[in-house]
Each structure stands twice: as structure tokens, then as C-alpha cells.
Amino acid sequence: MKKILTFLLSLVILFGYHPLFAQPDKPPYVSAVPKFTFGKTLKEQEAQLKTNPLMLRLEESRKKLAGDQFRPIYHYVNPEGKLNDPNGLCFWQGNWHLFYQGYPPEDPRQHWGHAISKDLVHWRDLPYAIYPSPERAVFSGSTLVEDNRVIAMYHGTAVGNMVAVSSDPLLLNWEKVTGNAVIPAKSTTGSSLPYSVFDPSIWKKGNMYYALSAGRTPTGPGGRPVRADYLFRSKDLKKWEYMHEFVQDDRFTLIGDDGACPYFWPIGDRYIMNFFSHMSGGQYLLGDYDKKNDKFIATSGGKYNHGAVGPSGVHAPSAAPDGKGGVVVIFNMNPGKPSESWNQIMSLPRRLTLLSKDELGQEPAADLGSLRYGAKHIEKMKLPANQEIVLNDVKGNAMEISAEIDPQKAQFIELNLLRSPNKEEYTRIVFFREKGFGKGLEYRSGPQTASMPADLVNLFTGEKPAPRTPNVPASLISIESSYSSTLPDVGIRAPETATVNLGPGETVKLRVFIDKSVIEVFVNGKQCVAMRVYPGRDDSTGVSIRAQGQEAELLSLDAWQMKSIYE
């Protein structure tokens, strides 16, 4: 018996604990997943990872799942089990670190999975980073990079918001500050709390740490719930003082929204708060940080998904500064078809920048050129009205397409992807020039207190108006999957339609990424729409283009096949 106890104790010393001691279903909720302690130098860690049993298991699982026809090859997908929110995106000692809610097979509660990348293109799996206990499950949170360490702050279900720190080269070893929730979910006195305890965001100002805690508050019209994010501060990460609701002047989110998965960072000379609403999806607020009163003054806002999050929609963000005045953000994307052993995927990382005071730019954050091969080029050509043109040389289900189009007076331009020869299956990308909202009435003091903008005054009265802002409507970009699949178990998603503002005479520049079961469309560096699609036919690989109503002109189109990031 003594030998057995000695052996078990040695396992505890080596691994931190052993699955024999796991208690997944009751406090302290110890995980059944093997956990390892790694060395402190990069050389030691790399040597240990080569023979680590968990790493070998992840590698084997990734190989087994690679044959799934709908599993993307250049979007990150976790190596085993299900996937949920991305968490704690950060850059540390030469690597981008992506954490995510993973569900290990032997203990399918949320643990923080972990992957790293040098270039935001090629990702390398690492062992699970943060395990449950004392929390029941490791939910969403963010990270803060300091000179000598990385701080993770996240929600631990059943206990409250937790803080963990790591300082090793690959962020493999994490220590939980105090070993308990630093912002408990329940009051010690039994009284109700004036705030919610949920997904946190962390940053530092001077010598103080600040954190948001996500939630909503019943202070909307008629007592209905609206988004809220509650502000805390701390000197030592252990004791946190509640301050107040953080966001001021938010008239951009909807009644019923909540402020989950918040990420608050500078962008250009302003600030952005990315977050997720369980009602209406991924969103952002732009504004100014009143550091004296510790308030975020919102001046504009927008969405990352333009419909319900499921099926097949964009879900929650994780974001971090890129060191160049922009912000890198990545999202998980929901499935639209049952799949064995896995479900969600990650979007391509996007780089967010300020195009103007209240306008956000969105582009792929990484140079994906290293994945391209098999280039095809389509020369300038007229697009006759109401005639679909099949681009016979452009085919594939793992491609990048870059196209520039002059819509001229066409009602819309349609790009069909993953198209079968007889069009039994296809996914529509549609650009509607100036079919969105205009600027509305102008109100001012004086005899004419309300007037139409200049171009509409001309239209209705024929008078020459005083110079005013033209009422040019916004354009729209839409992605539609109504005919993407003939498979009986695929959930159809309603069209995803977003506003994109183009200047006078500005051509349409599309960057389209197709990867097995996901399509992402970037428009002029100003907007992005994305969704999951599941064509069931092997020949659904074609591409066509069409101008409706009147002719347009395709100025250029380039297409590339894309390599796997895992080979």
C-alpha cells in the first residue's frame, strides 16, 4: 500500500495531479484530462512537447479528422472534440496565442485549448492551457500582456471571475491567483449584487488594473434588459473594487442585447469594445475613453454578423492590439450541419482599423499569399445585362478570389460560388450598389427646419438648393445560402446582408475566401460577411458572375487554390 501511495504521489508531483483524483461532477470540479508541468526555457519546453502524451493524442486526432469533406484546411479548427468561443488572443515572445473553449473527450467541460502562430496563418496546437477547478468550467475571458508575464482573466462557472498568470516562453504553465474567484459570483453577505459576474476583459491604466464584467441591466424602455458591462479595478489582481457601468451614450445596441466576451482596446486615436450578444451576435462600439471618470463614451457601433448566430453564423470575438494602431480579431463560427467529433471553426483573423472617426475598416490580418498555388487570371471583360457568365477556368472548394468590378448602372452584381454545373447547388454573393439607407432629413433652425438633402431636393422641386451633404444611399453586400446544399440535414441560413459605404466612382473590390464549409467576403477593406455552407455534390466547385438590369464591367479577377495550413 505504501508503494502505491508513493507512486501516486510521484504522479501528482510530475503532472500536478492525476486523473485518479478527478472529480468532474462536484466541487472542486477537478478535471479528468491529464495535465503536465513544463520546463521554464523554450528549449526544455520544445523537447518535452515532442514526446508529450497529450500532444501525441492531439496530433493523431487531427490526422483522423482531416478526411472530413467539410473540415476547413486553412481556417483554424481545434484538433479534438467540440469548439466554442475564442479567448485571450495575444502576442507574446514572438508568437500569437489563441485560446479557446475546448471540450476534451474524457471530460467534456470547457477547458482553455491553446494554439500558436508566427504569422496568423499557420497554427500549431499546444496542450490545454487552463483547466477547471475550483470552477466547474473555464468560460470566456481575455489576456493582458505585461513585460514579464501574461495575465488571463476569465469566467469560472459556479464560482465567479478568475485570474491566472503565466510567464514561460510558450505559456504552457498557468497559476491561478489566490486559487479562487477574485470577483465572486455571489455576495458573501447573501445580498444581491449591483452587477453581473460573467465574461471579463482586462487592461491596465497607470498602476491599476481594470476589468469589465459582462451582463445586461433592466434599465431599458419599460424595464426591458439592455447591454451592460460593469467596471472593476484592482492594485494587485486579488482584490477588486466595483466602480460603475462602463459605457456611456450607447444608443447603438438593441433592447435585449448583452455585453458578453468584451475586449476593450485602443484603435488609432480612439477605443473599440468588441463584444458578443447572445441575442444578436458579435458587435462593436467605437468611442473615446474618458480616463478621468473611467467611462467609455460610445459614438458609433456596428455588427460582425448580420442575422442570428445560428445556424452557420459568426459567433463571439477575441481581440488584441496589433502593435501598429489596429486590432486583430478572430471569431468562432457555428455549424449548420451535424458532424461527428467536431463542430465549430475559427474565422480568418481580421485586422480592424479606423477609416474615419466613426468608420471601421476590416481586412484579413495575415498575408495569405504563402498558401496560394494554381493561379488563374481573368482579363477585363464586359458583363452583359441579365446574363450569367460561367468562369470555366475558375473552380475549387478551397480558394481565394480577388475581383474588381465596376458596377456602372447595373442593379446588382452577383458572384456565384460552389456552383454545380446545372446549378443544383450554389452560394450567392450579391453587391447592391446604393440600395441601402440614405442620410435622412436634415433638421436645422430657421424658416426651413427640416429639408431633404441636396440631391433629393433637386428631384422633388427642381430648385437649386444650398450646398448640403449629398444623400447617396449606402451600398449592400449580401451572402445567401438558400441553394448552397441539397443535403437533408443542412440548416438553411437567411441571407446575411451588411452595409458598405463606397465613395463616388469607387469600384467594388472583393476578396473571397472559400474553405470547404465556410465563405468569407471582404469588401473594399470596409466590410466583411461570412457564413458556413455545406455543398453535398462533388461537382459543386464552379464560379459564375452576373450583372442584373444593365451591363457592368469586370476589371480583373484572380483566383488561387489554397494549401492546408496543417501540412
Give the pLDDT confidence score for residue 463 in this predicted structure: 55
Task: Classify residue 30: in a domain, yes or no.
Answer: yes
Q: In the chain, pLDDT over 70 holds for what percent of residues?
A: 93
Give the pLDDT confidence score for residue 12 in this predicted structure: 42
pTM above 0.75, yes or no: yes
CATH number of the domain residue 188 falls in:
2.115.10.20
Task: Classify residue 388: in a domain, yes or no.
Answer: yes
For 493, counting Cβ atoms within 10 Å of its Cβ (0-12 exposed, 13-18 middle, 19+ buried), the class is: buried
Task: Classify residue 239: in a domain, yes or no.
Answer: yes
Mean pLDDT value across residues 118-146: 98
The full DSSP string for 271-335 is EEEEEEETTTEEEEEEEEEETTTTEEEEEEEEES-SS-STTT-EEEEEEEE-SSS-EEEEEEE--
Q: Are residues 321 and 419 in the same domain?
A: no
Give the pLDDT confidence score for residue 233 in this predicted structure: 98
Task: Classify residue 478: in a domain, yes or no.
Answer: yes
Q: Which long-range contacts (CB under 8 A, 24 or more apart) does 94-101 make?
A: 94/118, 95/170, 96/120, 96/328, 97/143, 97/150, 97/171, 98/123, 98/318, 98/330, 98/346, 99/129, 99/130, 99/143, 99/152, 99/318, 100/332, 100/346, 101/138, 101/139, 101/140
Is the model's pLDDT at 15 over the cut of 50?
A: no
Give the pLDDT confidence score for residue 23 in this predicted structure: 77
Is the model's pLDDT at 459 over the cut of 70?
A: no
Q: Are residues 324 and 421 in the same domain?
A: no
Count other C-beta atoms under 10 Å from residue 122's C-beta. 18
Q: What CA–CA distance (Å, rounded) separates 149 from 502?
A: 43
Mean pLDDT value across residues 101-109: 97
Give the pLDDT confidence score for residue 455 in this predicted structure: 53
Give the pLDDT confidence score for residue 10 in this predicted structure: 44
Q: In the chain, pLDDT over 90 holds for what percent of residues?
A: 87
Final residue belonging to a domain, choices 307, 335, 364: 364
Give the pLDDT confidence score for residue 280 in this predicted structure: 96
Is the model's pLDDT at 92 over the cut of 90?
A: yes
Tell me the residue range of the domain where 411 lies.
368-436+473-562
Give the pLDDT confidence score for residue 18 in this predicted structure: 53
pLDDT bracket for residue 16 (50, 70, 90): very low
Task: Classify residue 284: in a domain, yes or no.
Answer: yes
pLDDT digits (tens, 9 = 90+) for 269-301: 999 999 999 999 999 999 999 999 999 999 999
Give the pLDDT confidence score for residue 7 in this predicted structure: 42
68-82, 94-108, 457-471: lowest mean pLDDT where? 457-471
Give the pLDDT confidence score for residue 453 in this predicted structure: 60
Mean pLDDT value across residues 54-75: 97
Q: Are residues 355 and 449 in the same domain?
A: no
State the chain's mean pLDDT as an integer.
93
Is the model's pLDDT at 1 over the cut of 50?
A: no
Task: Classify residue 567: in a domain, yes or no.
Answer: no
Final residue belonging to a domain, choices 339, 364, 389: 364
Q: Are residues 314 and 386 in the same domain?
A: no
Give the pLDDT confidence score for residue 91 in this predicted structure: 98
Q: Are residues 502 and 446 in the same domain?
A: no
Q: Are residues 80 and 146 in the same domain?
A: yes
pLDDT bracket for residue 159 (50, 70, 90): very high
Q: Are residues 27 and 49 in the same domain?
A: yes
Is the model's pLDDT at 411 over the cut of 50?
A: yes
